[in-house]
Structure 1
Amino acid sequence: MSEKSVAFEYCDKMVEDFEKVIEHPVREKSSVYYTGVDLGTACVVIAVLDENKRPVAGAYRYADVVRDGMVVDYIGAVQIVRELKEQIEEQLDTELIYAAGAIPPGTDLLDSGAVKNVIQGAGFECTNLLDESTAANQVLQMKNGAVVDIGGGTTGISILKDGEVVYIADEPTGGTHFSLVIAGAYGKSFQEAEVFKRDESHHKELAPVIKPVVDKVSSIISNHIKGHQVDEISLVGGTCCFTGIEDMIEKKTGVYTHKPHNPMFVTPLGIALSCKQEEM
């Protein structure tokens, strides 16, 4: 097994454990719970860790409350987060108090207040707020390279050196654009295209359709890593669930590109790892 494969063992194991507890929550009591709230463009995810920072519960729901990384339906976002919170609290027979959140890189002045307000409006005490790519690296544990979070509306990039973020960027282009070209090519509504692309059995057929958008994402990555020593790229975010996207990006950027197991859950787990036990 290569060193790179070993480096991502922790990430893949944590994601696999999280997938299990979504279906079968760990009801054994913990002295504290760390919660991560990920307000994605296409999906809202809540991840809960125990006192040992191991996944114990989680829930997610596809939603349209965020666009291009910005909260556009505040009431809807609060309602979804509150309902998922209550669902998990019932499963664990406990009250979840503290939670952390995340925003696209470089958008803290634009949307950090809205994300914090959604978390608080749902009944949490918001104890941390960080950028999505940095949150993802809490799970990836990459020392040198680029974490690329391809969400619904934007592509966020964090470049790391010796485990520290030295550069962040965020540009429009993501899963929403995949759905738009699919809708156009197949004569489907946007929502129909969203559902169609989530079915893995369609991915081989869709690859040439979405290639121009993946090429655009690759171009964004290449432009931002230019001038930095980036030997590897790790992809996270729901859009990266598309089969073979890592190979398409590696071919365009010329940089080794890795995709962890179920990249949709990496960021929410990283947010949960960043959760603290006191208010901001």
Structure 2
Amino acid sequence: MTSWLTPELSLCGQVFREGTAEGETPGNICLGFDLGTTNMVLVALDEEGFPIGAVMEPSKASVRDGVVVDYLEAIRGMKVCLDRLSRGIPIDESIAVGAAAYPPGISSKTAKVCANVVEALGFECGGLYEEPSAAAEALGMADGVIVDIGGGSTGMSVVRDEKVIFSSDEPTGGTHMTLVLAGALGVDFDRAEEEKRKNRNRYAPLLKPVLEKMATIVRDELEGCPESDGLPVVLVGGGADIVGVEGVMESIIGRPVSMAPESLLVTPLGIARSLWRDRYGSK
């Protein structure tokens, strides 16, 4: 089975955990702004297309189901990410370029708000990509099924010949798992979210009903898309980062399912990589 661990994804995970990459001051920086329901993630690439920094901040209710619902708070949250990133990487707004992404199925006007956040922070928004296309870029995927379990929704996309030929998005995600966990443990939402992240190897059995609902959504969508037959199913997104989720998904979907490495970073890296490819590079 394909590992999906590209050199760029591996390095992105390293700089996320260990801090900005050491080296010369970068020139043309590409920034990938990922406005998630639970987390905002910002990834920076150097002019060769390799990650040199990655940071994350809580979304604090500024984004719901992948859609910006509090514009000013979204700007504030991304400004915190940018400030943290800038401590290790000199970022010149006149040279650096940003990009954003949006979930499948929303209007172009709603998607444009993501680009507006980038521009409000002083950067040209050089790209606005559909999230599954960005994820496929980060994974180096030419053909496959991407299941993106975010905070507020689960998106499913079929990729053929490097193009998304089918996509859907349903409002069940990591937030719903946290609510179930909070009820089961008798704690508030924030404590349950913290517990879920710290003990990702513990709660798949408890969260099985929510995971089965997500898997049923994916299965039903795939049954209506014959072009997906025989394609690998790969899980991405912060909500997917629970040990054992693949087995639950496989039991419902009826085909092999694998977890992408660095699942939280796949989409933001893909945003930045898509921008870099369009601006400066090639695949």
TM-score by length of 1: 0.90
What are the superposed Cα offsets for residues 204-262 of structure 1, whole Å, 9 maximum, x if unpaired? 2x222211100010011111111323331111100111111112111210111111222
Does the Cα contact within 8 Å between 1:40 and 1:151 map onto a contact in 2?
A: yes
What's the RMSD between the two structures over aligned residues?
Answer: 1.8
Structure 1: how far apart are the matches of 2:107 and 2:165?
16
Does the Cα contact within 8 Å between 1:200 and 1:243 map onto a contact in 2?
A: no
2:51 paired with 1:55? yes
What are the superposed Cα offsets for residues 39-69 of structure 1, whole Å, 9 maximum, x if unpaired? 1111110001111111111211122221112
Structure 2: how far apart are the matches of 1:184 and 1:87?
34
Does the Cα contact within 8 Å between 1:246 and 1:258 map onto a contact in 2?
A: yes
Structure 2: how far apart are the matches of 1:247 and 1:215?
10
Structure 2: how far apart are the matches of 1:92 and 1:141?
26
Identity, % of aligned pairs?
A: 35
Q: CA deviation at 1:20?
A: 2.2
2:154 is matched with: 155
What are the superposed Cα offsets for residues 148-196 of structure 1, whole Å, 9 maximum, x if unpaired? 1110011111101222211111111000110111111122111221111
Structure 1: tracts of 5 or more residues without a match: none
Structure 1: how far apart are the matches of 2:138 and 2:119?
25
Structure 2: how far apart are the matches of 1:236 and 1:252?
18
Structure 1: how far apart are the matches of 2:151 and 2:113?
18
After superposing the two structures, state which structure 1 stretch, 152-161 or 15-24, moved more.
15-24
2:206 paired with 1:212? no
Does the Cα contact within 8 Å between 2:35 and 2:59 map onto a contact in 1?
A: no
Letter in 2 for 1:207: A
2:113 is matched with: 114
Q: CA deviation at 1:108?
A: 3.6
Structure 2: how far apart are the matches of 1:142 and 1:18?
17
* Residues 102-181 of structure 1 aligned to structure 2 (within 5 Å): 102-109=101-108, 111-181=110-180
Structure 1: how far apart are the matches of 2:34 and 2:125?
13
Does the Cα contact within 8 Å between 1:69 and 1:153 map onto a contact in 2?
A: yes
Does the Cα contact within 8 Å between 1:106 and 1:131 map onto a contact in 2?
A: no
State the secondary structure of the residue aligned to 2:204.
Answer: helix
2:95 paired with 1:100? no
Runs of 4+ in 1 over 3 A off after TM superposition: none
Q: CA deviation at 1:89?
A: 2.6
1:88 is matched with: 85
Letter in 1 for 2:28: V
Q: CA deviation at 1:109?
A: 3.2
Q: Which has the larger share of helix?
A: 1
Letter in 1 for 2:162: G
Does the Cα contact within 8 Å between 1:33 and 1:48 map onto a contact in 2?
A: yes
* Residues 18-33 of structure 1 aligned to structure 2 (within 5 Å): 18-22=12-16, 23-26=18-21, 27-33=23-29
Q: CA deviation at 1:127?
A: 1.0
State the secondary structure of the residue aligned to 1:208.
Answer: coil
Structure 2: how far apart are the matches of 1:36 and 1:81?
11
TM-score by length of 2: 0.89
Structure 2: how far apart are the matches of 1:101 and 1:153?
18
Q: How many pairs were matched up?
A: 270
State the secondary structure of the residue aligned to 1:173.
Answer: coil
After superposing the two structures, state which structure 1 stretch, 178-187 or 223-232, moved more.
223-232
1:233 is matched with: 233
Q: CA deviation at 1:277?
A: 4.7
Does the Cα contact within 8 Å between 1:82 and 1:123 map onto a contact in 2?
A: no
Q: CA deviation at 1:93?
A: 2.1
Letter in 2 for 1:18: C
